[in-house]
């Protein structure tokens, strides 16, 4: 197995494991998503690996993008200025490339089980939903909190979430930005198994091991059928999501939404 900066990668029997190592909140960026995609590519080339587990250190599975990071804020300011000049495409490289890497995850060939031991927020929810199955616990929280930030959903969630839990439940999550508990997630079909928090990764490994007992050729063939066209639908969705996110990043409401979230208060949106 290759060595990566922000993830730990191992092979346990016929199961490949990826552990995100940016505790406590495991914020993602293009580098992290690229590393995960590279590891999954590596698993696809290893004939001994038949399934994988995606887990994380710390209290959160993945809290999404760190909008409060000074470097990211500077990037947002530069992109907002480009939007004002009427040429947003000039400075979209980092964000558009992040979604390119995200689509690579959806193109992985082998089943993925996500061990969601804590919060999966925003793009972190998108990452969790990219897996075939999710094992979680009562303490976990699933949230598409984009509208609370004055933002538009991303990471392909406008396609993946409705397909997983139904259009109306997805709308409920998008329009309210509410946090869905582990129990609710299982009830809605957003997660597959509910176990005690300290057993989440073990349960995910057990499920992946059960999958790995099956014929590798049969698994590849069946998964290709079941996920046929998904990566292409996600790619089309991220193109639209990116355009909307670019437009909204230039608004006063987005800046207020990020600030209010950092200050843990209700945002005072103005609609501009």
- By mean pLDDT, which of 73-82, 138-147, 208-217 is the weakest? 73-82
Inside any domain, residue 210 = no
Contact 157, 144 (CB under 8 A): yes
Question: Closest Cα partner for 52 from 13, 22, 25?
Answer: 13
Inside any domain, residue 83 = yes
Residue 140 lies in domain: 7-196+215-262
In tens, the pLDDT along 35-57 reads 999 999 999 999 999 999 999 99
103, 96, 249, 27: CA torsion to nearest 10 = 60
- Please return the burial class of 28, using the count of CB atoms within 10 Å of its CB with bins 0-12, 13-18 and 19+: buried
Inside any domain, residue 76 = yes
What is the pLDDT, as a whole number, of residue 67?
Answer: 72
Give percent of the chain above pLDDT 70: 89
Torsional class of 52: left (φ above 0), alpha (ψ -120 to 50), beta (otherwise): beta
Inside any domain, residue 201 = no
What is the pLDDT, as a whole number, of residue 147?
Answer: 97
pTM, 2 dp: 0.90
Q: How big, in percent rounded to 5, are the helix, strand and coil portions of the chain?
A: 55, 15, 30
Contact 253, 150 (CB under 8 A): yes
Domains identified in the chain, total number = 1
In tens, the pLDDT along 84-122 reads 444 333 333 455 678 999 999 999 999 999 999 999 999
Inside any domain, residue 1 = no
- By mean pLDDT, which of 73-82, 85-94, 168-177, 221-230 is the weakest? 85-94
pLDDT higher than threshold 90 for residue 71: no
Inside any domain, residue 43 = yes
What is the pLDDT, as a whole number, of residue 69?
Answer: 54
Inside any domain, residue 270 = no
What is the pLDDT, as a whole number, of residue 90?
Answer: 35
What is the pLDDT, as a whole number, of residue 84?
Answer: 44
Inside any domain, residue 269 = no
CATH number at residue 97: 3.90.226.10
Cβ contacts of 44 within 8 Å, gap of 6 or more: 108, 109, 110
What is the pLDDT, as a whole number, of residue 1?
Answer: 81
């Amino acid at each position: 197995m290759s060595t990566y900066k922000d993830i730990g990668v191992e092979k346990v029997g016929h199961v490949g494991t990826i552990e995100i190592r940016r505790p406590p909140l495991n914020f993602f960026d293009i580098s992290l998503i690229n590393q995960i995609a590279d590891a999954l590519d590596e698993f696809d080339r290893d004939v001994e690996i038949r399934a994988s587990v995606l887990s994380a250190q710390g209290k959160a599975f993945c809290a999404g993008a760190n909008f409060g990071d000074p470097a990211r804020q500077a990037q947002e300011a530069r992109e907002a200025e480009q939007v004002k000049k009427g040429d947003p495409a000039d400075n979209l490289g980092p964000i558009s490339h992040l979604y390119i890497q995200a689509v690579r995850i959806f193109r992985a060939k082998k089943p993925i089980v996500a061990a969601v031991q804590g919060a999966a927020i925003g793009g972190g929810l998108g990452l969790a939903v990219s897996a075939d199955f999710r094992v979680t616990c009562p303490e976990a929280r699933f949230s598409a909190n984009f509208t609370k930030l004055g933002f538009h959903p991303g990471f392909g969630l406008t396609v993946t979430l409705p397909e997983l839990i139904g259009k109306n439940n997805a709308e409920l999550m998008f329009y309210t930005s509410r946090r869905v508990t582990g129990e609710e997630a299982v009830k809605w079909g957003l997660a597959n198994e509910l176990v005690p928090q300290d057993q989440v990764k073990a349960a995910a490994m057990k499920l992946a091991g059960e999958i790995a007992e099956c014929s590798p050729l049969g698994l590849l063939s069946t998964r290709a059928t079941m996920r046929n066209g998904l990566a292409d639908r996600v790619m089309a969705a991220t193109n639209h999501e990116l355009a909307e996110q670019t437009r909204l990043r230039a608004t006063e409401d987005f800046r207020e939404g990020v600030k209010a979230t950092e200050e843990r208060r209700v945002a005072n949106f103005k609609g501009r």
